Structure 1
Amino acid sequence: MDWSILPYLLPLVTSTLVALAVAVTVARRSERIGARSLAWVMLALAFWSACYAAELVVSAPETKRVMANLAYTGIVSVPVLWVVFAIEYAIGSQHLSRRHLIILSIIPLITLALIWTEPAHGLMRRVNTLLTFRGVTIVNRSAGPWFVVHAVYSYVLILSGAVLLLRVLVRSPYLYRRQAMTLLVASLLPLLSNAVYLVMPRTIIPIDVTPISFAVTGAVIAYGLGRYGILEVVPAARAAVVEGMREGLLVMDAENHIVDMNASAAETIGRERRDCIGVPVADLVPASAELLRTRTGKQEDIELLSPHGVRRRFEVRFDALYDGRGRLTGRLALLRDVTEQRRAEQEREALLREVERRVQQLSALATELTQAEERERRRLAQMLHDHLQQLLVGAKLHAIAARDQTENPHTAVAVQQVVALVEQSLAASRALTVELSPPVLYEGTLATALAWLARWVQERHGLTVTTELDPHAEPAGDDVRILLFQSARELLFNVVKHAHAPQASLQMRLVDHSAIELTVTDEGVGFHVSPTDDALGAPSGFGLFSIRERLLLLGGRMEVASSPQQGTRVTLYAPATPSPAPRPTGEPTPEASPTRHPPGAKVSVLLVDDHRTVREGLAALLSHEEGIRVVGEATNGPMALELAKRLRPDVVVMDVTLPGMSGIETTRHLRARWPEMRVIGLSAHSQADIARAMRAAGASAYLDKGAPAEALIAAIRG
């Protein structure tokens, strides 16, 4: 190799390598708009430069001509590929079709055909000789007639691409102007080099310097790729995406002056785009100062007057833009019309408030329904207890007194039959009273009431009910207490009627100190639970559905787990209230015990009952008993305490159910003040819980008002 060509060869090799490197870099971004066409441009430049370098290196004349002809493959390809790239970059590939590419390629293909057949016609080169100058031998490139056509066509294509870039340079925002300027410089450098080569005489410039300029072109494009993000966001993509957006987009510089905006933003603001460029955004968008100065990302709602004079609500979001060094370079603002959305949200909120109000009304109605039902049950039970049962007790006591006074045995038998009938009526009335409204539900905790319910179901229906009840699990209100008690009773009835199980489990516990969990479990026949509504699979008409609905309205819920032959578990959840701390009660100071009556003296008795018929019946019964003397009658607790203090009776016959202070509380006070005074509890209720409570208060005995008179007399005599 002639080392005299080295100064020409090194720039060509450098150009080839730079163009190849840029081609590979761009090809890796093939999914970007224009990336493939730009990669082919750089490959064509590399091929052109490589073939020209080979032409200098080889010494055989024929080989030099082959290399020179091969170089034309790159020479004719570059202008076509360049204009394709410019179109894709500036206005989009949708403006190019296969037909357009074929038309663009006609002259380059003719040129290639003529260059390879050049000895036959001389249309490309006037002479087909070698030229040696300053030790460099190359193919003589004197222009033939078609060469002029080829050169003009190539220049037109390259200049057309430059015009498209100039269009971007003039019309686009700052970022795209920098991209377009970079590409424009990269394209014009080879064009200028080629023009200089064609104009200057060969004695001054012996070789084509155009391929040498490719090194600079490649370096400029590489700089644009890294610095300005060429191919990352191209103007064609902006036109397709930004201009196609329904939302308004504003681009501001670091001082918040508008540098770009899309058509939607111009329409939203109601001004021409050219009139907005350079204007402070605060003059056009009535946003808060905090939003305008944001260095992160914020949004708020604003109101703008439309061109038709209608106020519209927009959601405006500002985001800050930073360069690679973390310096603020500008901001983006996105305007989205949310008028209909906000109106729909307001309507939805109003509807939700209305639904919430209706739910509260339904909850109140459900509570009122539960309470009204229970009030009616309790009223009926109270009527039975306070009137019918007391009348029956009074009639029984008077009949017993009449029986004991008559000397006619037939009359005594008849009266005894009346007493038996009265006792049966009294028992039936008591059973009905308990079913309507068990007194234990109001005289103790819910755990106490459920324990009584378990015993009552076992006694009444023969169902063994095991219980596990937390005494601290107390409902948040009487309505919840009543509903849980009624629900537990209904669930146990379901076990009796449908499950055909010999036993069931009743559990209640406090969950997270805020809810009561009540569970009824059996191992009976079970049933299919509907996947859409577990209550509809229940075999009970009112049962589970009513329980579920009422619980929901009171803030609770119900869960049902069941399957055929696998039993059933129903769990209820309801609001709970913390158990109140026991209030300290002042224990009465014991007073001096009454003087014991002398042996043989009558036992003094104080009768305490709020029903006159019962008091009169008791007085009539006891008046005929030797050794017993009724010294007073009281209708309530405070009156009983006052008479006990004044009369100091030996025995107090105490009705459990008294208005105001209950018989249990009155008994506690009597026993605390006068420990020697005996108290006999007497009630129409026969529940064991009440008997235990009365005995715990200090009563020496507890009798059912329906019990034989002899039992009461024996208890008084002690």
Structure 2
Amino acid sequence: MPALTRLEFTPYVLPLLGAALVAIGVAAYTWRKRHVHASATSLSCLMSLVLLWLLAYSVETLSVALQAKELWETVITLSQAFVGPVWLIFALQYAGRGDLLSKRRILLVLLPGIITAALTLTNPWHHLVWRDLRIVASWPMPSAFPTPGPWFWVLAFYRYVYVLVGTTLVLIPLVGSPAWHRSQSLLVALGGLMPLVGNALHIFDMTHALAVDLGPFAFVAGGVLLALGLFTYRLLDVLPVAQQAIFESMREGVLVLDGFGRLVDINPAARRMLGIPPQLPVARIPLQSALPAPLYADLHSAAPASAEFEMGREETTRWLRPGFYPLMDGQGRSLGKLMVLYDITQERRLAALRDDLTHMMVHDLRNPLTIMHCSTELLLDEVYAGLEPRHQRLLKMIMSSNIQSLELVNRILDLQSLESGRMDIAQEDVCVADYVKQAVQQASLLAEVKQQEVCVDIPEGLPPAQSDPRLLQRILQNLIGNAVKFTPEGGRVTVSAREQGGGIQVTVADNGPGIPPELQQRLFRKFVTGEVKQRGSGLGLAFCKLAVEAHGGDIWMESQEGMGSAFHFTLPILRLETNTPVADPALTRQDVG
């Protein structure tokens, strides 16, 4: 018994003990993270096995007696028996395939290790693990080398198979994965391969001159690489896990693209929206066929159009709105971009329902308002002269309010007709100058009251434009009327027209207060009004936009606060390919404001 406990110090044990401290640190850290990541527990167990291997190897190195070395060789073999299986379990969990690890399968993975442990403990009776233990007297100290038995090679084989399979599982996600994930996976893979190489050198006696088993050192080196993954890439921290969980559970579809526009990651929501099978690897996703052609072109565009698009057919139709966002690193360098797909199907359905209800209610209102208008006109014609002055004022107020209500109803109906494409557009050769003069004359009364100067700058010989006369009249009434309304007293409004780019460009400019930037982006939407007392219905500019676009033209604005505003729109000179019927008579009503 004293021989078993006799130890002789050698400097060689110091690096072993240092490596053991590293193993303790990694094992303790990963054990603390066991509630954060499923693979933390198995990694902690793996480093605990390496720690046992190192400590047993250290004591064997210090031991002098052959029996003591044989005892610690038994402990080393027991730890080696489970290194491969535990590494495979860790790799499965790290690769996100922990669902494969049922209790029965875990038992099957551990079964070779259990058999090896049983054979190692009973080796003196059958010598299947090693036949004998020989001591080689070499520098820097006598070392024990077992003579392999038949099961020794079985142990080495299944350990290498487990480590290689586990490493392959770690490397598979590298294809098409983000750069940070590739670096993380490479560290984990190297952490598994280094011990394999180190132990192979020892088994095949390639380190005989050193009299050193590099296996435990290689495992510690692998543990250090794993630790780098833990600290540098926060492998087991809660934040990346939470970020991944959010990415996977988002209702919006997210596609991660690198600097070359290649897909490197996609979340389940985007797969569902685009009809991509969940089991299809990211690297094999045919993005060009999965996305509409304009949206695919936006992936490589510096200024994506981000237009809404439709996916699916009939009952399964979905409307999606894309958004593009730059992907930057901590130093502000571009790594790529994110394409986020917002499902606006429900929004579209609600908008359609709202428009249908509005159309129904407004349409039903027009008949009683028309009857009221006719009745009021009859009263004005027949009994107005015999009424008292206060009753005459009331009757005029009723007539004025009725006209305003009827005009508002017609504006809403006209807007909906333009939005839905149901309004017929009559294309005629029109003299823009004539319609400008008419609109200026209609706004002249308010301009005189406000002591404004309204100028018309249209050159002679301007070719006629192709337009629906009634729509053009309303467009000009809206723009000129708004300019007069929002320009302060003593201001100036200029209406000009020029031939430009194969069309006629009309500009209505003023030197008023200008339009705030936050209002400019939504000025052409329905029910958006300026910040003045004389607000309109908020439908005039929305109507102008739809009417101009129905002619194939464009409308835009330029404004600076304190410098005035300018509204521009274009009309074609050449006839459109398709001449459409005459416009709806309801469009003859004025819509200023």
**TM-score of the superposition, structure 1-length normalised?**
0.44
Distance in 2 separating the partners of 1:361 and 1:43: 86
Q: Structure 1 residue 256: deviation in Å? A: 3.8
Conserved 8 A contact 2:85-2:162:
yes
Distance in 1 separating the partners of 2:291 and 2:354: 33
Q: Are 2:308 and 1:302 aligned?
A: yes
Q: For residues 504-543 of structure 1, what are the structure 2 equivalents within 5 Å?
A: none
- Please, which of 274, 295, 298 is the counterpart of residue 286 of structure 1? 295
Q: AA paired with 1:329?
A: L
- Specify whether residues 319 and 63 from structure 1 end up closer, same or farther in structure 2 by C-alpha distance, changes over 3 A only: farther
- Please, which of 22, 26, 29 is the counterpart of residue 30 of structure 2? 26
1:557 paired residue number: none
Distance in 2 separating the partners of 1:209 and 1:140: 13
Q: Are 2:343 and 1:337 aligned?
A: yes
3-state SS in 1 of match to 2:351: helix
Distance in 2 separating the partners of 1:16 and 1:281: 53
1:320 paired residue number: 326
- Specify whether residues 42 and 331 from structure 1 end up closer, same or farther in structure 2 by C-alpha distance, changes over 3 A only: farther
Distance in 2 separating the partners of 1:87 and 1:66: 33
Q: AA paired with 1:165?
A: V
Q: For residues 591-606 of structure 1, what are the structure 2 equivalents within 5 Å?
A: none
- Specify whether residues 114 and 326 from structure 1 end up closer, same or farther in structure 2 by C-alpha distance, changes over 3 A only: same
Conserved 8 A contact 2:288-2:296:
no
1:556-608 Cα offsets, whole Å, 9 max, x none, are xxxxxxxxxxxxxxxxxxxxxxxxxxxxxxxxxxxxxxxxxxxxxxxxxxxxx
Distance in 2 separating the partners of 1:47 and 1:13: 11
Q: Structure 1 residue 213: deviation in Å? A: 1.4
Distance in 2 separating the partners of 1:22 and 1:105: 23
3-state SS in 2 of match to 1:318: strand
2:222 paired residue number: 217
1:78-105 Cα offsets, whole Å, 9 max, x none, are 1111101111222421111111111222
- Please, which of 155, 159, 162 is the counterpart of residue 160 of structure 2? 155
Q: Structure 1 residue 198: deviation in Å? A: 1.0
- Specify whether residues 168 and 236 from structure 1 end up closer, same or farther in structure 2 by C-alpha distance, changes over 3 A only: farther
3-state SS in 1 of match to 2:57: helix
Distance in 1 separating the partners of 2:142 and 2:295: 73
1:17 paired residue number: 21
Q: Structure 1 residue 338: deviation in Å? A: 2.3
- Please, which of 66, 72, 95 is the counterpart of residue 67 of structure 1? 72
- Specify whether residues 94 and 281 from structure 1 end up closer, same or farther in structure 2 by C-alpha distance, changes over 3 A only: closer
Conserved 8 A contact 1:299-1:318:
no
Q: Structure 1 residue 188: deviation in Å? A: 0.7
- Please, which of 26, 36, 42 is the counterpart of residue 37 of structure 1? 42
Distance in 2 separating the partners of 1:191 and 1:117: 26
Q: Are 2:60 and 1:46 aligned?
A: no
Distance in 2 separating the partners of 1:260 and 1:290: 14
3-state SS in 2 of match to 1:204: coil
Q: AA paired with 1:149?
A: V
Distance in 1 separating the partners of 2:71 and 2:169: 36
Q: Structure 1 residue 174: deviation in Å? A: 3.9
1:211-250 Cα offsets, whole Å, 9 max, x none, are 0112321221122233444346999999998788775431
- Specify whether residues 50 and 349 from structure 1 end up closer, same or farther in structure 2 by C-alpha distance, changes over 3 A only: farther
Distance in 2 separating the partners of 1:199 and 1:118: 22
Distance in 1 separating the partners of 2:240 and 2:102: 20
Conserved 8 A contact 2:50-2:220:
no
1:88 paired residue number: 93
Conserved 8 A contact 1:91-1:236:
no
3-state SS in 1 of match to 2:257: strand
- Specify whether residues 72 and 304 from structure 1 end up closer, same or farther in structure 2 by C-alpha distance, changes over 3 A only: same
Q: For residues 428-443 of structure 1, what are the structure 2 equivalents within 5 Å?
A: none
Conserved 8 A contact 1:126-1:144:
yes
3-state SS in 2 of match to 1:127: strand
Q: AA paired with 2:347?
A: Q
Identity of aligned residues (%): 29
- Please, which of 123, 142, 155 is the counterpart of residue 147 of structure 2? 142
Distance in 2 separating the partners of 1:15 and 1:278: 48
Conserved 8 A contact 2:259-2:334:
yes
Distance in 1 separating the partners of 2:47 and 2:365: 72
Q: Are 2:235 and 1:226 aligned?
A: no
Distance in 1 separating the partners of 2:297 and 2:362: 35
Conserved 8 A contact 1:90-1:234:
no
Distance in 2 separating the partners of 1:336 and 1:103: 46
Distance in 1 separating the partners of 2:301 and 2:38: 33
Distance in 2 separating the partners of 1:155 and 1:244: 37
- Specify whether residues 332 and 10 from structure 1 end up closer, same or farther in structure 2 by C-alpha distance, changes over 3 A only: farther
- Please, which of 200, 203, 215 is the counterpart of residue 205 of structure 2? 200
Distance in 2 separating the partners of 1:237 and 1:90: 16
Q: AA paired with 1:20?
A: I
Conserved 8 A contact 1:315-1:336:
yes
Q: AA paired with 1:323?
A: D
- Specify whether residues 359 and 97 from structure 1 end up closer, same or farther in structure 2 by C-alpha distance, changes over 3 A only: farther
Distance in 1 separating the partners of 2:216 and 2:42: 19
Q: Structure 1 residue 24: deviation in Å? A: 2.5
Q: AA paired with 1:342?
A: R
Conserved 8 A contact 1:172-1:235:
no
3-state SS in 2 of match to 1:217: helix
Q: Are 2:355 and 1:346 aligned?
A: no
- Specify whether residues 125 and 299 from structure 1 end up closer, same or farther in structure 2 by C-alpha distance, changes over 3 A only: farther
- Specify whether residues 84 and 339 from structure 1 end up closer, same or farther in structure 2 by C-alpha distance, changes over 3 A only: same
3-state SS in 1 of match to 2:192: helix
Conserved 8 A contact 1:258-1:279:
no
Gaps of 5+ in 2: 1-6, 370-389, 391-397, 399-593
- Specify whether residues 288 and 352 from structure 1 end up closer, same or farther in structure 2 by C-alpha distance, changes over 3 A only: farther
Q: Structure 1 residue 179: deviation in Å? A: 2.7
Conserved 8 A contact 2:194-2:218:
yes
Bigger Rg, which one: 1
Q: AA paired with 1:29?
A: K
Q: AA paired with 2:334?
A: L
Q: Are 2:86 and 1:77 aligned?
A: no
3-state SS in 2 of match to 1:230: coil
- Specify whether residues 300 and 232 from structure 1 end up closer, same or farther in structure 2 by C-alpha distance, changes over 3 A only: farther
Q: Structure 1 residue 209: deviation in Å? A: 0.7
- Specify whether residues 346 and 100 from structure 1 end up closer, same or farther in structure 2 by C-alpha distance, changes over 3 A only: same
Q: AA paired with 2:327?
A: L
Conserved 8 A contact 2:199-2:214:
yes
Q: AA paired with 1:140?
A: F
Q: Are 2:262 and 1:253 aligned?
A: no
Distance in 2 separating the partners of 1:167 and 1:185: 14
Distance in 1 separating the partners of 2:299 and 2:284: 25
Gaps of 5+ in 1: 365-441, 443-476, 478-718
1:602-622 Cα offsets, whole Å, 9 max, x none, are xxxxxxxxxxxxxxxxxxxxx
- Specify whether residues 128 and 107 from structure 1 end up closer, same or farther in structure 2 by C-alpha distance, changes over 3 A only: same
3-state SS in 2 of match to 1:142: strand
Q: Structure 1 residue 43: deviation in Å? A: 2.0
Q: Structure 1 residue 60: deviation in Å? A: 4.6
Q: Which moved more, 1:26-35 or 1:305-314?
A: 305-314
3-state SS in 1 of match to 2:43: helix
